Amino acid sequence: MSQSVRRQVLSAFKKLHRTRQHVFHGDEKALLAGRQKINESFQQNRNESNAEEIQKMIQLAVDVDHELRTNIIQAQRKKDDVYELRITPGITRLDNVVFNPDAVIEPPRRRKKGDKSTECCGGAAMAALETDMNSRKK
């Protein structure tokens, strides 16, 4: 393994551990489980020598890091049915859409049996298959 790839792997490893410490701050059980999982995953692939596979694994580590930083929220129980959320600035926030109980949801339209015009390719694939089967019969 070249020095630059080795440096990238080590960087991804360290970044995942820093993210783990940030995301699961104060939750000893989650910190320990995260540490074990990261170490286990990197140990399993320690002897990988294929450069393409190593790059895929580095990209996976970067993607996991991004998901942890942007989608994990800690909740701590304060009382019965009361939780305190720790939402960090990097968390992805989406607009809440209020549910409309009066909304009319129409059932999907059903196709008529044998109607090829509504299929994904306008029936061209089925027509080609039928032509092929007819030519084999002759």
pLDDT tens digits, 20-78: 999 998 889 999 999 999 999 999 998 888 889 999 999 999 999 999 999 988 888 89
What domain range includes position 36? 3-86
Number of domains in the chain: 1
What confidence category does residue 86 fall into, taking pLDDT thresholds of 50, 70 and 90? confident
Is the pLDDT confidence value at 136 over 70? no
Is 138 within a domain?
no
Alpha carbon distance 22, 24 (integer Å): 6
Is 95 within a domain?
no
Is 44 within a domain?
yes
Is 129 within a domain?
no
Dump pLDDT digits (tens) for 94-134. 887 888 888 888 888 877 666 555 555 556 666 776 777 67
pLDDT for res 35: 96
CA 60 to chain centre: 10
Is 11 within a domain?
yes
pTM greater than 0.75: no
